[in-house]
Amino acid sequence: MKKLFKEQKFIVLIVAIVLYVIFALLSKEFRRYTTIIQMLDFAYYVVLMAIGVTFPLITGGVDLSIGTGMICYALVGGFMIRNYHWPVVLAMLLSVLFGLVIGILNGTLVSVMGLPPFLATLCTCMITRGLGTLLVNKQAVPWPTNKVPEGWFHSIFKLTIGRATKIPTGLIPIAIIVIIMMFVLNHTRVGRYTIAIGSNREATRLSGVNVRIYHIAAYAICGLFAGLASIAYAAATPTVQPGTGAGLELDAIGAAIVGGVSAAGGVGSIEGTVIGVLFIQILKIGLPFIGLEANWQQIILGLILIGAVLVDVIKKRKEAAL
Amino acid sequence: MGEVILEMKEIDKSFPGVHALDHVSFDVKCGEVHALMGENGAGKSTLMKVLTGIYSKDSGSIIFDGKEIEFHSTREAQEAGIVIVHQELNMIGDLTVAQNIFIGREPKKGFRIDDKKMIEDSKALFDRLKIHIDPTEKMSELTVGKQQMCEIAKAISHNAKVIIFDEPSAALTEKEIEDLFAIIRDLRSQNLGIVYISHRMDEIKVITDRVSVMRDGTYVGTLITEDCTKEDIINMMVGRVIYEKPKEKSLVAKDAPVVLKVEHLNAGHMVQDISFELKKGEILGFSGLMGAGRTETARAIFGADPKQSGEIYINGKKVEINSPEDAVKNGIGYLSEDRRRYGVVVQKTIIENSTLACLEDYTNGAVINKGKEKEITEKFIKEMDTKTPSSDQLVMNLSGGNQQKVVITKWLVKNCDILIFDEPTRGIDVGAKSEIYKLMNALTAEGKSIIMISSEMNEILRMSDRIIVMCEGKKTGEIAIEEATQELIMDKATRDIVA
Amino acid sequence: MDKIKQNPIVKKLGFNRIVLVAVMLVMYFAFCALVPGFFGSAHILGALNYVYFLGFLSLGVTFVIATGGIDFSIGPVMFCCALISGYTLMKFGVPMILCLIFSVLIGFCFGLWNGYLVAYWTVPPFIVSMASMNIAKGLAAVYTKTQSVSWPRSTDPNGWFRNLVMLGKIPMGLIIFLVAAAICSFVLNNTKFGRYILCLGSNREAVRLSGVNTKKWEMFAYVMCGLLVGIAAIFFVGVYTTVQPGYGDQYNNEAIAGCVMGGTSMVGGLASIGGTVIGVLIISLLQEGILALKMTKDVQLIITGIIVIVAVYADVSARRRKN
């Protein structure tokens, strides 16, 4: 029990709950059911991105391309529906597949070609941003709305009955995904070797593990989840705007690090990341309700990211001093 | 003792410029602990690396379990049943004990790694070794001793027939060493062959059955442990021809002032309560075996690593040294044992390296006076006879000896009065070696004082005016050069650890 | 091939740089062939407009990369400088000169913050960059209340600062940039600061053990970068007049591309200001050519991304071969 209290994710969870209570006390609007629904709407894609990026972060790398990548995949999927009347399922599949391909590309650049992860993914960030805009010819792409039959995919995340009744169905698939990914990280080779690579890549290689493949796999998972996130994003926003998406990766990476993933690699958990997302979303959605301009979110998010890494640095220094 | 399980015959191995192994033979029997001894650089590690497939041999043969074999990687050796427990542990700190033991060969149940079986198997291994470690604990949270036990468990889980321990006790406490010995005895009784590399004489007496000694890449001989004395072994280890005559008496005047005084220096377990004095114009030799704490002492004095306590006086005045910056300001220069990592910036030129420690003397305001810089560098290149086409040659294009001269130049340009030379001639050919010796003598004649850390007995006896011997992080002796002999130094350096 | 490389003149100029100049010329003539009317001063001036601000960004990030670090907050920070100082000018009528100094000062503060966190707290540079990028965007948006800011036109009373970019028909911006590059080159190669950051980028521990305060000098590299980013902001508004909050990311990659293409190593320790200048010219020419070909900015993003990957891979694999 004492150990639990010392865990960063547990502390963050408490802080998130406290934060929620404070916001709820200060603002009547914040307490409303619709606010929770709205908060969840914008949390789905962040949580998917964050789960994905947890893997490269644990290997000691990072993926900066998830934000613009997600937009790119959403654009391409929506474009196929609108211009070529693809069935929605097929378009979703395309989005996810596209994400997977970019993820494998990132993994190859980092693992095989030996580029610094932040640099390689900064490049793919720009490339996906350009590519997305080019492929859809610079037009904003709306996915089908929930008023038309093709808009069924909205109910994956939010079931609307009548005009006002909204049920956050998205919690179910997200919960399933979280459980699956917890299993993957903790009980399969992919997860095990992701941690091992981040902890000591050379020792892992000398133990006979094909580190190249597993290193790529971590980035592939991240890309795949950016693809999944693109569907959630399309469901949450009426239209997908080309050229956007820069900065969205910060929400996800920040959440993962706040949730206890070490920026130096080797340490991290899915449940921690999810808690991190919860914390960041409450903060982001809550701040405007207590009269703080939305733009403060970015500043505070930046500071929180630095703060979370500093906690890690100080912890390590203390350990080294012992 | 059973039949011979592993036999290495006439193994020969050369590296460019070094004959590392000169027709060395070595064998291990089932159910015995065979010690492999020798000074630093005698070729023990190289021999084991040839055995486990890290190096390929030039000639000779290895017969294991009745068959001639040659491995190409440690993994192949492992699969055949020869496992090495390294000095530096190959562990993945963020995984648990069980996960470390089975990494790369996890038992599976469908997609899932069968953690339960892994934990059970680990427990069984630990039971067999009669040690108590929780397999679900994170590796990084164990003590070094327990981590080593895990390495051993991992070795056994490979169905090892021969286990090599490479200085296993270096980082262990006495209690842990006892546990380790219990395990080794147990493994011996299970008919495994064990190679035990160590410097600790008394451990050898306690745990081993036979002792083989190597010296300068050659095989000297094998003794039955029971029948030999510590002196026998030391004589075999040091019995090399001394090419250079040792210094007969100290060249330092009796009344020479003390330039550096260190009192009760403590820094981690490798530096415990070290006190000594360095006189003007003296070469103070620091002798001891690998891991005796000499480099750590030097780094603590120089401020490169934090120290817990202790006082340093320079010319009788107490000084605070908390960083290399402070040390350099006080006129101390440090020549590291690892030249390429800590000494030179290889991608930069000789000039840039030479003035690195005192750039402020070669600048007008913030701007570097390149003419002056070149002038001083070329003066030293000439004086020290550094072999280079020009002063703006990149240091990576120089030979080891010349790189070393560049580092020395750096400290001379700074005009440091106290120089710490940590293994100044490591990896340097014979010619360059004697040049460095000449240089050191010239420096002390000028009134500079030198602390020389060296693992080479020749060097210590030839160069030092006085010798301090360290062992296990403690100062174990201070010997005037007039009284110093190889045997005396080795005796102090291998002080009894286990009673 | 090796013979050419060993030629003293080639050695002096740098083989790498000669190749880059050749690439630039080939590119220029290719655009001339593809786009009718590309030949002539109009497009060259167009490309130069891009050089002015990108050049300063690239020069700045060269210092950071020389230490083995990275800063990809420079684009948004540049926007932040331009927005905050421009808004101050617009709202409070501060004298132009103070406003320009203010811009540089904001850049300086960001540099200090980034450098302090990286050098003294060992926060990974990419994390610091990511945070600063968002802080810069957020600060600018909060301060300007999310409005875009237009700087004075040349006919306005405060428009004199545009003379820094174009004085009559003289491209002052180019002259200033080249002078700045010369100064940077001097700083990097002839001052204590430059010597220390190049050496610590190459072997930090050896420099520390030589008694150098490596933390301080590493921080200064980021400060230098910040200052140059503040100057870049002035040239950006001098050419493009209007800045919008929330943007600026794309210039990160272009600045880094100019730098790594010119032979500055991502691993640290090797940097060439001359190379960076040529790199910036190539990127700017590319941008102008792509626009002239009626293609969009997006093509530029993709090409720049690929250029960086190729340039860094070349450096990484060259080092691998050496070891």
> Could you read off the pLDDT of C170-223 as tens digits, one per residue?
899 999 999 999 999 999 999 999 999 999 999 999 999 999 999 999 999 999
Amino acid identity, residue B47?
L
Q: Is C131 on the interface with A (CB under 8 A)?
A: yes
The single residue listed with the structure tokens 């037009």 is A139
This prediction has a pTM of 0.90
pLDDT of residue B87: 63
Residue B2 has pLDDT above 80, yes or no: no
**Percent helix / strand / coil, chain A, rounded to 5:** 75, 5, 20
User: Residues B335, B343: contact at Cβ < 8 Å?
Assistant: yes
Q: pLDDT band at A1, cuts 50/70/90?
A: low
B347–chain C nearest CA distance, Å = 7
Chain A residue closest to C126 (CA)? Answer: A118
Who has greater pLDDT, C252 or C5? C252
Q: Each residue of A71-90: b (16+ CB within 10 Å) or e?
A: bbbbbbbbbbbbeeebebee
Interface of B with A (CB under 8 A): 74-75, 90-95, 99, 103-106, 108, 111-113, 115
Interface membership of C297 toward A (CB under 8 Å): yes
Mean pLDDT of B461-468: 94
pLDDT given for residue C193 in this prediction: 96
How far is it, in rounded angstroms, from Cα A277 to Cα A261?
Answer: 12
The backbone region for A268, taken as left when phi is positive above 0, alpha when psi lies in -120 to 50, beta otherwise, is left
pLDDT for B449 beyond 50:
yes
Give chain C's mean pLDDT. Answer: 92
**Stretch A244-273: mean pLDDT:** 92
Query: What pLDDT is stored for residue B498 in this prediction?
Result: 40
Say which range, A21-25, B21-25, B74-78, has the weakest mean pLDDT. Answer: B74-78
C94 touches chain A (CB under 8 A): no
Q: Do A200 and B92 touch (CB under 8 A)?
A: yes
For residue B99, which residues of chain A lie inside 8 Å, CB to CB? 192, 196
Q: Between the CA atoms of B207, B210, B214 and B218, what dihedral angle is there, to the nearest 10 degrees?
A: -160
Question: Over 90: is that where the pLDDT of A106 sits?
Answer: yes
Question: What is the bridge-based pairing of β-strands B4-15 and B18-29?
Answer: antiparallel
Residue B497 reports pLDDT greater than 50: no
- Which chain C residues touch B421 with a CB distance below 8 Å? none
Mean per-residue pLDDT for B70-97? 84
Residue B389: enclosing H or E segment and its boundaries?
A: none
**Would you list the domain boundaries of chain B?**
4-238, 258-493
The neighbouring-strand residues paired with B285 are B452, B467
Share of chain A above pLDDT 90, in %: 68
Distance from CA of C204 to the nearest CA of B (A): 9
A187 interaction partners in chain B (CB closer than 8 Å): 112-113, 115
Q: Does A199 touch chain B (CB under 8 A)?
A: yes
- Give the tens place of pLDDT for each residue, B368-394: 999 999 999 999 999 888 888 999 999
Shortest Cα–Cα distance, A267 to chain B (Å): 7
Q: Is C305 on the interface with A (CB under 8 A)?
A: yes
pLDDT score recorded for residue B496: 56
Stronger pLDDT, A206 or B194, i.e. the higher one: B194
For B82-174, where are the E strands, in sequence order?
Answer: 82-85, 108-109, 112-113, 162-166
DSSP class per residue in A215-246 = HHHHHHHHHHHHHHHHHHHHHHSSEEPTT--T
pLDDT-wise least confident of B6-15, B80-89, C48-57, C203-212: B80-89
Taking the Cβ of residue A316 and every Cβ of chain B, the question of whether any pair is shorter than 8 Å is answered with no
Q: What is the mean pLDDT of residues C280-295?
A: 93
Task: Write down the pLDDT at residue B240.
Answer: 53
The stretch A148-172 carries a mean pLDDT of: 86
> Which chain C residue lies closest to B300 (C-alpha atoms)?
C209
CATH number 3.30.1300.10 is the correct assignment for the domain at B258-493? no
pLDDT at A240: 92
At A131 the pLDDT is: 94
C-alpha dist (Å) from residue C93 to C88, C90, C96, C157: 7, 6, 8, 11
ipTM of the complex: 0.90
pLDDT in tens, C34-71: 988 888 888 999 999 999 999 999 999 999 999 999 99
Find out if CATH 3.30.465.10 is the number for domain B4-238. Answer: no
- Neighbors of chain B with 3 or more C-beta pairs under 8 Å: A, C
DSSP letters for B446-479: TT-EEEEE-S-HHHHHHH-SEEEEEETTEEEEEE
pLDDT above 70 for B69 = yes
For residue B92, list chain A residues with Cβ-Cβ distance below 8 A. 195-196, 199-200, 203-204
Segment B177-194, tens digit of pLDDT: 888 898 899 899 989 999
* CB of B348 less than 8 A from some CB of C: yes
Mutation for B interface: A192, A205, A262, most B CBs within 10 A: A192
What pLDDT shows up at residue C303? 93
Whether C309 and A109 lie within 8 Å, measured CB to CB:
yes
Contacts of B210 (CB under 8 A, 6+ apart): B32, B34, B35, B222, B223, B224, B225
The whole-angstrom distance between C291's CA and the closest CA on chain B is 41
Give the residue from chain B lying closest to C269, CA to CA.
B347
Q: What local confidence, expressed as pLDDT, does residue B194 receive?
A: 94
Write down the residue that tokens 């995984």 correspond to. B95
Q: How many Å is the Cα radius of gyration of chain A?
A: 20
Tokens of B183: 């395990």
State the smallest CA–CA distance between residue B74 and chain A in angstroms.
8
Contacts of A69 (CB under 8 A, 6+ apart): A99, A102, A124, A125, A128, A223, A226, A245
| Segment C75-109, tens digit of pLDDT | 999 999 999 999 999 999 889 999 999 999 999 99
